[in-house]
């Protein structure tokens, strides 16, 4: 008499990574919408766009640009100062706040991987920053083309948007890093302000002070500036606006002849993205090992 084989145990698989990512992203997006942060971000972009369109449509030239070209160039220059602050504000307290209010404990009571949660929160904040910017910039270009009959330099526009997206990635990674390592929200705010000041203001003044104190050559000035993601993005933007880089003086002459516009563009795209990715990986490693509470 043959004995029936024992039935195989049924293994229940948890939700897929995509399902977990989508669920956490929806949860975080709902939190962003409740805080009105998305509305504020869109309003800032829109007000900047309207202001530059109204002011910059006069027939004057900056670096060879006039009309709508001047509007786009001025808008991107303003965004190079504003985007780091927005990115740090959006991510600098997301992890420590979730730890303090019990969100992490609630989320991880469900079958959600830590890496998936971390990636979903970061991706949501990044998309909320970049997508409205793309919509506003393209809308500005279309308004200038239809309403004012301006010729739009689409290559320069999309190149500038790529530079801005890379810069946002850098400071999103830095903001998440601060939020993961600094548990106190008050101390995290101080660190965020220090990072923004170092990236936007203090490095400029520091380079000027070094050049006044010591007569640094162009290679040294370029190296020190390129270490800062904001400066790397700025040089890439200026290389797209004017291949001669005459606005930078002797340093611009060195960059135009020794480095080249293509290399500057690659630097402005790759280096900020590498800074953001390395910061994010460091934060992820700490988040996976740290306690939830």
Where does the pLDDT of residue 273 fall: very low under 50, low under 70, confident under 90, or very high at 90 and above?
very high
Long-range CB contacts for residues 196-202, cutoff 8 Å, separation at least 24: 196/84, 196/85, 196/88, 198/228, 199/84, 199/171, 199/228, 199/229, 199/230, 200/80, 200/81, 200/84, 200/85, 200/230
Neighbours of 208 (CB within 10 A): 10
Per-residue tokens: 137? 């910039």
- pLDDT of 149 strictly over 50: yes
Tens digit of pLDDT for each residue in 44-54?
888 888 777 77
Name the nearest CA neighbour of 236 among 159, 157, 174, 168.
159
Neighbours of 202 (CB within 10 A): 13
Q: What is the mean pLDDT of the segment spanning 10-15? A: 52
Residue 124 pLDDT: 93
Stronger pLDDT, 71 or 105, i.e. the higher one: 105
Q: What is the rounded distance in angstroms from the CA atom of residue 168 to the CA atom of residue 130?
A: 8
Q: What is the mean pLDDT of the segment spanning 87-106? A: 89
65 beta partners? 62
Stronger pLDDT, 286 or 244, i.e. the higher one: 286
- CB neighbour list of residue 267: distance below 8 Å, 6 or more residues apart: 226, 232, 235, 236
| Eight-state DSSP code of residue 247 | G
Q: Where are the domains of the chain?
A: 17-289
Helices and strands (DSSP H and E) totals, the chain:
13, 2
Q: What is the rounded distance in angstroms from the CA atom of residue 196 to the CA atom of residue 87?
A: 10
- pLDDT of 92 strictly over 60: yes
Helix (H) or strand (E) holding 59: none
Q: What is the rounded distance in angstroms from the CA atom of residue 257 to the CA atom of residue 272?
A: 23
Name the nearest CA neighbour of 229 among 241, 218, 237, 217.
237
Q: What is the mean pLDDT of the segment spanning 22-34? A: 87
- pLDDT of 9 strictly over 50: no
Q: What is the rounded distance in angstroms from the CA atom of residue 168 to the CA atom of residue 276?
A: 8
- pLDDT of 210 strictly over 70: no
Where does the pLDDT of residue 64 fall: very low under 50, low under 70, confident under 90, or very high at 90 and above?
very low
Stronger pLDDT, 207 or 125, i.e. the higher one: 125
Q: What is the mean pLDDT of the segment spanning 61-74? A: 60
Name the nearest CA neighbour of 165 among 201, 136, 203, 131.
131
Tens digit of pLDDT for each residue in 154-190?
888 888 899 999 999 999 999 999 999 998 888 999 9
């Amino acid at each position: 008499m043959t004995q029936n084989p024992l039935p195989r145990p049924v293994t229940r698989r948890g939700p897929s990574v995509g399902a977990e990512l989508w669920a956490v992203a929806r949860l975080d997006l709902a939190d962003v919408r409740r805080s009105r942060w998305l509305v504020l971000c869109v309003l800032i972009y829109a007000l900047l766009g309207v202001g530059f369109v109204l002011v910059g449509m006069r027939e004057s030239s900056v670096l060879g640009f006039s009309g709508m070209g001047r509007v786009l160039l001025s808008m991107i220059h303003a965004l190079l100062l504003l985007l780091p602050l927005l990115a740090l504000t959006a991510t600098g307290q997301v992890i420590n706040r979730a730890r303090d209010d019990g969100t992490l404990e609630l989320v991880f009571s469900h079958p959600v991987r830590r890496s998936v949660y971390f990636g979903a929160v970061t991706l949501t904040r990044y998309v909320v920053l970049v997508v409205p910017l793309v919509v506003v910039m393209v809308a500005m270009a279309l308004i200038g083309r239809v309403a004012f009959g301006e010729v739009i330099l689409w290559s320069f526009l999309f190149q500038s948007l790529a530079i801005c997206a890379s810069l946002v990635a850098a400071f999103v990674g830095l903001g998440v890093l601060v939020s993961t390592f600094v548990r106190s929200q008050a101390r995290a705010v101080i660190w965020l302000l220090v990072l923004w000041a170092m990236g936007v203001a203090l490095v400029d003044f520091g380079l000027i002070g070094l050049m006044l104190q010591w007569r640094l050559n162009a290679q040294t000035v370029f190296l020190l500036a390129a270490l800062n993601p904001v400066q790397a993005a700025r040089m890439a933007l200026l290389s797209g606006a004017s291949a001669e880089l005459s606005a930078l003086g002797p340093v611009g002459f060195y960059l135009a002849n020794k480095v080249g516009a293509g290399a500057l563009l690659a630097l402005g795209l790759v280096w900020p993205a590498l800074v953001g990715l390395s910061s994010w990986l460091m934060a992820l490693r700490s988040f996976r090992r740290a306690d939830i509470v």
